Amino acid sequence: MAGQPLTFDVLDDFILAHERDRTLPVCLQPGPCLGSIVELVRFCEESGQALDYTESRETAGIRRALESRRPVYLNDRAAGFIATRRAEYKGGDIYWDSFMFSMHKAMLAAGFSSAFSRGLVGAMDEMQNNVHDHSNAIDTGVVAYRVGRDRVEWVVADRGIGVLSSLRSGAFPSLTDSGEALKIALTDGRSRFGIRKGRGYGFRELFKALSTRHGAFRFRSDDQVLSIVGVSPSLSRARLQQRAHVAGFAVTVVCTKPGEPHQG
């Protein structure tokens, strides 16, 4: 069976082929894009292993984290995976605290500033809180990060109800378009709880963390992908693309050091 390096574009094409009942005799090869690896494993779990892929340390780490409800680390904690429903330790969420600290420490070791590291870890924390608040499927959520010499990437993904259903269940019952739902969810002060209700500000932390930085965001929900790339990414630069339908919500954030190109 032929191999195919895994990217977001390749994964989206394979999911579309599956939706159209086409079987492709190709084995996907997980590569440098962590977000596409997480989305691949999540989709295969949802669809009964519909796509063939080569096992890697990352795919095994994702599954092990979900099974154990404890963090799994690779490469001296330069990469990590954890479920959003975690095992308690002495009545607290110490595993999550340790996970965030490990990412922060890995970023410092790679040469990212302390302030930027704190901001990016804080934004990841906000996104994993969204799984608890909006997905209706906390047990399916997973968080992953990987820090390299020139870039940092993190992913939060679940197999819940998705952004459109979440907004429709609350303050936006007449909403019908999943692309518009993604834009609303990314707008300050808007959530299923309504407008300016003190909720819906999680994405503000994400955009603030990457102000003045070159970053790339990918938001995937229902049959839409919203992507933003550039220095100081903002919603005004968003690009929407229709894709095959998948369950849940996934956000991938990549930040490279100044002068380094984004890949993935």
Q: What are phi and psi of 201, to 5 degrees?
A: -110, 10
Report pLDDT for 209. Answer: 82
Report pLDDT for 119. Answer: 92
The distance of Cα 94 from the centroid of its chain, to the nearest Å, equals 22
How does pLDDT run along the chain (264 residues), one tens digit per residue? Answer: 567 889 999 999 999 999 999 988 889 999 999 999 999 999 999 998 889 999 999 999 999 999 999 999 999 999 999 999 998 877 789 999 999 999 999 999 999 999 999 999 999 999 999 999 889 999 999 999 999 999 999 999 999 999 999 999 877 899 999 999 998 888 865 555 445 444 444 577 788 888 778 889 999 999 999 999 988 887 888 899 999 999 999 999 999 876 444 455
Q: What are phi and psi of 215, to 5 degrees?
A: -140, 165
Is 141 within 8 Å of 135 (Cβ atoms)? yes
| CATH number, span 68-256 | 3.30.565.10
Going by the DSSP 8-state scheme, the letter that residue 261 receives in this structure is P
Report pLDDT for 201. Answer: 40
Tokens found for residue 214: 């070159």
Find, among 210, 224, 199, the residue nearest to 254 by Cα. Answer: 210
CA distance 143 to 158: 9
Tokens found for residue 211: 């102000």
Report pLDDT for 92. Answer: 84
In the block, which residue shows the tokens 């929407």? 240
